[in-house]
Every structure is written in structure tokens, then in C-alpha cells.
């Protein structure tokens, strides 16, 4: 332990130590200094002394401003975190959005994961973000997985491991803490843990052969942080406790058996997989008892602090455990340089975030991951055809497809949109209209969305896709989950981007305009239903 770490740890009271173990939610949309939301967050930083802040939705200028404001209020620098798996732009409206991890996996080259992570790290550094909750180390083997899916690099454990390692290197080579998640593996579940507890219904040998492979590789590569998921794993803990609250899983498997000494964080403790069963205080105590270092997004910070303090006072848990966790947190803060410079330069933000180089590289990465679902070459979408675009979208409020339509507007000026809420009359009108064109480009958007509980289309929409895909002159482009391909019959060429990012829309349009052989390869296995 360094002199700085010893000095900080030595001056903290028990309650202040516990506060260092809590990271709270923050938004970076502008609010005035006298607003209740900012006042509440300020009190948690200055009065309670919480150890970290996790930023979600907002803007680039807003986040840079609030990071500086909050760091100026903190007696001990805050560990600022962000869940930015495919770029800071997935949280901030004006930052770079990269292709999803499955699209990076589809490129076949793990160095592309390194490149993507370097972009994330560059934008994180200038925004004062030190702790990124990525990469996803889950092996997505369940096609119906509603919450991992395209967030995973693929379905092959060794291939996923190689991409995870390079992603970790890309972040940490730039002094940003990488976090592998969701230990011990969330890829073979059909339940979104934002809604309920998921259970891994298989034996230990399967866990070793599939789920743990990328995590072991990341640990060997020196990943500094690991997020434990809200997953029941009976083969390790027969009580059925969530992994995030389970001592046999966190301390027994992760710490002792796998020898991991990095920073262990929970998944968000305000998710229903936890709150459906446990109160904020009890969940916090159980996480500490399990051996977790940092508690993310507890449902009630004061309840959590009170409960952990009472657990130590009563002898239920040990202050030595608290000290060990705080020592790891301080170690990471010092590794990031927070003991020297916690605030950010607005000028650096302006020159780095979403610069032309980052945006161009995002499109290049997306282009390299475009893959054929049927092995067919794609005939270029040219001006010599009378063409239309059909957007089939999983969310009526989504802007998906707007960029794709714009990029193809000269070749296919007509467009038609179908949503899950569309009626049979809407679909009949679409099918009839499509017959008037030489070719129809069918763009299907199917995204992972927290709290949705599923990732699919109604049967009527799948039937419409089948009708449009039956014409060999047409082209189907899958944005997001490629698994939907197994749910309809295709008589025409079909390509997949494995992402719904803006870069993927641009890359797909550019590819259709030039045509040819797809450069990527599908990183998951499909089984036709």
C-alpha cells in the first residue's frame, strides 16, 4: 500500500470507509446548481463522502462540467465510472458510438477490439471517466437472451476470450480501468436481470468449459475490475443466492479459486433481480459479506450505509473486510492518477470527443464486421433499379433507420416503415406496394433493451419479413440481433451488421452501394426454428 493510500485509509472513520464503497447514479443533462437533483448529489459527495459516481444519460459538456464540480466537492477524489460498452456515445448524445461488441467479434480480428477500446479510453480520459464497465465477457449461447445478445463478442468461448483480452488492453493501456462482466457469465439466460433473477442451470464442468473461459483469460491479462452479475448459480452456491450477494461465488470462486485480487463491483443493486427480494440495507450487507468491494447504485444510500455500519458494530461482518475493500478502491484511484489531477480540461474535451478520426474509425470497424447470412455476394444497389427501402423496427420511438435511409436516398428514394404496433392492413399495403418496385431493401432493426424482457417480433411481422424475403431480387439487412434470421425463410440475399449503431447504418449503406463479398463472419451459431 502506498503512502497516499495509507494516509487516506488511516484518517477515515468506519462510516467514511463504507461510503467509499458506494458508487451512485448521476445524469449529465444540465440542471442549475440550486436544483434538488444536483443538491442531493452534492450532499452525497461532500457530506456523506461516497467513493464513486456512475454517469448515465446526458451531454458531453454537461458531464465534463459536473465531473469538475463534483470532484471539487470531494474530500477524496471520486472514482468516476460509465457503462460505455460501445462507446461514450451510448450514454452521451454527442460522443462517439461504436459498433456493438458482436459486430467487433464479426470482424474476426481481436485487434479491432483493441482499437475500439482505445477510442473509448481517449474519450473517457478527457471526460474524467476512470472506470469503464466493459468489456462484456459473457458467451452468448442463448439466441433468446434479451439482455446480452449483441453486447457479447460471440458464442465461442475461446474467440470471445481473445476479443475480451484485447478490449481490456485497449482500455488499460490508456490508463482506464476495464471491467469484465457479468461474472460468472450471463450469456446462457433468457431472463433480463433488470426484471428478475436469472439462474444458470448447468453443472460446474460446463461453467469451466464455456462461461469462465473469457474471465480466466481477462484475469491472466491483468484486468483491474470484475463485475459480478445477479445470477443464481446452484452448482457453486446451492442456496440460489444471486452471485453478487454470494460468498461461495465472490470469495470462494472468484477470489480464492481463481485468485483474482482486482476490484470487484456488483451489478446495479437497484435492479429488480435484487430489489424484488431484498431491501437496500440487507442487499448492501450481503454484498459486503460476499466479498464485494464496490456497491453500484444501491436503492437507498443512507439505508445501505446504516445497515453496513450496524453489521460491523454487531459483529455480523468485519471492519477488516471493509478496510481491504477500501484499500483496493484507493489503489485504483491512485493508479488512475486521481491523487494528482481529478479534474478535466474543457479544451481537451472539445478536441477529442467525437472527432472526425473517431467517427471515421467507427464506420471502418462496422464495415469490417458486415457478414453474409447465406454466403451470397451482394449485387450493388444502383440507380438503374426502381427501388424502395422498408424499415422494420422494434420500437416506434426509435430513430433507427434514418441514417441508413438517408445514405441510400439517391438509389432508393421511397421508404416504408413497419413497427410491432402496425396492423395487418399496414402490412398488406406494404406487401402490395413492394410489388411495384424492381427491388426492395428490407432493413430489420432488433435491439437489446433493458427491462423489455424479450428480443423478438410478433408473428405478423415475421410473416411480413418472410413475404418480402421470398423475392430473390430483394435484399434483407439485419441490424442488431442476427438471431432473427432463424425465424423467417429467406429466398434473397441477407447480410447482418450485428449492431444498430449509426456507424453500422452508414457502413451497411456504403456496402450495398458498392456490393460484393461481405468481409465479416458471423460470430454466433444459428439454429433455424
With beta carbons less than 8 A apart as the criterion, state whether 498 and 102 touch: yes
**Lowest mean pLDDT segment, chosen from 153-157, 355-359, 449-453:** 449-453
Q: What pLDDT, in 10s, does the model give residues 39-62? A: 999 999 999 999 999 999 999 999
**Contact between residue 230 and residue 198 where contact means Cβ atoms under 8 Å apart:** yes
Instruction: Tell me the domains of the chain and their CATH numbers.
Output: 3-9+21-344 (3.20.20.300), 370-514 (3.40.50.10870)
Query: Which residue is associated with the grid cell 467509499?
Result: 20
Peptide bond into 191 cis (omega under 30): no
Please check the confidence at residue 33 and state whether its pLDDT lies above 90.
Answer: no
Instruction: Give the pLDDT score at 384.
Output: 62
Parallel, antiparallel, or unpaired for β 475-480 and 439-446?
Answer: parallel
C-alpha cell at 292: 464485494
**pLDDT exceeds 60 at position 314:** yes
What number is the average pLDDT over the span 434-462?
92
CB-CB contact of 428 with 463 (8 Å)? no
Q: Which of 95-104, 203-212, 374-383 has the lowest mean pLDDT?
A: 374-383
Give the Cα separation of 114 and 495 in Å (integer). 25
Q: Give the pLDDT band of residue 115 (cuts 50, 70, 90).
A: very high
Tell me the β-bridge partners of 295.
Answer: 22
- What is the mean predicted confidence (pLDDT) over 229-256? 98
Instruction: State the residue for C-alpha cell 479544451.
Output: 347
Q: Which residues contact 377 (CB under 8 A, 6 or more apart)?
A: 493, 515, 516, 517
Task: Count the alpha carbons within 13 Å of 34 in the hemisphere toward its beta carbon.
Answer: 0
> Catalytic site residue 194?
yes
| pLDDT of 271 | 96
Catalytic: 489?
no
Mean pLDDT of the chain: 95
- Going by the DSSP 8-state scheme, the letter that residue 337 receives in this structure is T
**Residue 229 has what pLDDT?**
98
SS3 471: coil
The SS3 assignment for 93 reads coil
The three-state secondary structure class of 501 is coil
Identify the pLDDT of residue 381. 87
Provide the sign of the torsion angle of the four alpha carbons 517, 518, 521, 522, taken in this order.
negative
pLDDT tens, residue by residue, 508-522: 999 999 999 999 999
pLDDT tens-digit map of 244-296 = 999 999 999 999 999 999 999 999 999 999 999 999 999 999 999 999 999 99
Cβ atoms of 352 and 122 closer than 8 Å: yes
- Active-site hit among 83, 192, 267, 293: 267
Region 328-349: what's the mean pLDDT?
Answer: 92
Q: How far apart are the C-alpha atoms of 24 and 413, rounded to whole Å?
A: 47
What percentage of the chain reaches a pLDDT higher than 90?
86
Q: How confident is the model at residue 398 (pLDDT cuts 50, 70, 90)?
A: confident
The Cα-based distances of 499 to 211, 306, 388, 519 in angstroms read 23, 43, 22, 15
> To the nearest whole percent, how much of the chain has pLDDT over 70?
99
- Preceding peptide of 190 cis, ω within 30°: no
pLDDT at 441: 95
pLDDT at 446 over 80: yes
Q: What is the pLDDT of residue 383?
A: 63
Write down the pLDDT at residue 30. 79
- The one catalytic residue among 182, 186, 194, 358: 194
Taking alpha carbons only, the member of 55, 59, 106 closest to residue 82 is: 55
pLDDT of 409:
86
CA atoms within 13 A on the CB side of 74: 26
The single-letter DSSP state of residue 208 is I
Q: Do residues 413 and 437 touch, judged by C-beta distance below 8 A?
A: no
Q: How far apart are CA 124 and CA 129, in angstroms?
A: 5
pLDDT of amino acid 287 = 98
Strands (DSSP E) contained in 166-302 are 179-183, 198-199, 225-228, 231-232, 263-266, 295-296
Amino acid at each position: 500500500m502506498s503512502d497516499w493510500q495509507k494516509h487516506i485509509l488511516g484518517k477515515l472513520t468506519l462510516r467514511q470507509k463504507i461510503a467509499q464503497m458506494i458508487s451512485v447514479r448521476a445524469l449529465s443533462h444540465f440542471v442549475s446548481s440550486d436544483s434538488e437533483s444536483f443538491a442531493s448529489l452534492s450532499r452525497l459527495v461532500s457530506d456523506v463522502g461516497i467513493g464513486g459516481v456512475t454517469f448515465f444519460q446526458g451531454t458531453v459538456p454537461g458531464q465534463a462540467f459536473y465531473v469538475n464540480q463534483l470532484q471539487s466537492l470531494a474530500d477524496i477524489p471520486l472514482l468516476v465510472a460509465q457503462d460505455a460498452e460501445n462507446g461514450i456515445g451510448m450514454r452521451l448524445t454527442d460522443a462517439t458510438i461504436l459498433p456493438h461488441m458482436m459486430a467487433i467479434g464479426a470482424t474476426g480480428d481481436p485487434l479491432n477490439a483493441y482499437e475500439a477500446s482505445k477510442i473509448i479510453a481517449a474519450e473517457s480520459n478527457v471526460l474524467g471517466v476512470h472506470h469503464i464497465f466493459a468489456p462484456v465477457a459473457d458467451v452468448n449461447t442463448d439466441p433468446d437472451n434479451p439482455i446480452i445478445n449483441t453486447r457479447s463478442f460471440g458464442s465461442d468461448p475461446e474467440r470471445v476470450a481473445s476479443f475480451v483480452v484485447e478490449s481490456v488492453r485497449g482500455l488499460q493501456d490508456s490508463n482506464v480501468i476495464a471491467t469484465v462482466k457479468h461474472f460468472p457469465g450471463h450469456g446462457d439466460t433468457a431472463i433480463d436481470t433488470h426484471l428478475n433473477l436469472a439462474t444458470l442451470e448447468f453443472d460446474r464442468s460446463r461453467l469451466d468449459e464455456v462461461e469462465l473461459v473469457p474471465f480466466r483469460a481477462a484475469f491472466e491479462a491483468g484486468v483491474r475490475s470484475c463485475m459480478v452479475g445477479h445470477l443464481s448459480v446452484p452448482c457453486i452456491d446451492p442456496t440460489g443466492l444471486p452471485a453478487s450477494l454470494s460468498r461461495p461465488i465472490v470469495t470462494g470462486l472468484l477470489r480464492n479459486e481463481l485468485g483474482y485480487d482486482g476490484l470487484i463491483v456488483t451489478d446495479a443493486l437497484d435492479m429488480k433481480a435484487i430489489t424484488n427480494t431484498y431491501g437496500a440495507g440487507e442487499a448492501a450487507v450481503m454484498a459486503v459479506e460476499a466479498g464485494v468491494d464496490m456497491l453500484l447504485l444501491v436503492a437507498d444510500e443512507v439505508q445501505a450505509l446504516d445497515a453496513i455500519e450496524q453489521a460491523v458494530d454487531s459483529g455480523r461482518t468485519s471492519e477488516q473486510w471493509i478496510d481491504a475493500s477500501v484499500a483496493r478502491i484507493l489503489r485504483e484511484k491512485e493508479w488512475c492518477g486521481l491523487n494528482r489531477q481529478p479534474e478535466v480540461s474543457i479544451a481537451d474535451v472539445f478536441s477529442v470527443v467525437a472527432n472526425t478520426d473517431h467517427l471515421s474509425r467507427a464506420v471502418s470497424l462496422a464495415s469490417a464486421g458486415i457478414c453474409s447470412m447465406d454466403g451470397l455476394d451482394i449485387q450493388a444497389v444502383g440507380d438503374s433499379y426502381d427501388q424502395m427501402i422498408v424499415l422494420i423496427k422494434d420500437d416506434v420511438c426509435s430513430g433507427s433507420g434514418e441514417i441508413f435511409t438517408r445514405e441510400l436516398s439517391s438509389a432508393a428514394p421511397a421508404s416504408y416503415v413497419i413497427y410491432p404496433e402496425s396492423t395487418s392492413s399496414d402490412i398488406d399495403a406494404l406487401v402490395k406496394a413492394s410489388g411495384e418496385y424492381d427491388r426492395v431493401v428490407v432493413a430489420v432493426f432488433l435491439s437489446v433493451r433493458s427491462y423489455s424482457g424479450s428480443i423478438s417480433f410478433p408473428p405478423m411481422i415475421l410473416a411480413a419479413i418472410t413475404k418480402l424475403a421470398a423475392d430473390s431480387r430483394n435484399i434483407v439487412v439485419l441490424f442488431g440481433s442476427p438471431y432473427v434470421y432463424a425465424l423467417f425463410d429467406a429466398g434473397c440475399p441477407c447480410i447482418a451488421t450485428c449492431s444498430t449503431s449509426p456507424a453500422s447504418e452508414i457502413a451497411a449503406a456504403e456496402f450495398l452501394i458498392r456490393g460484393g463479398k461481405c468481409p465479416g463472419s458471423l460470430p454466433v451459431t444459428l439454429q433455424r426454428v
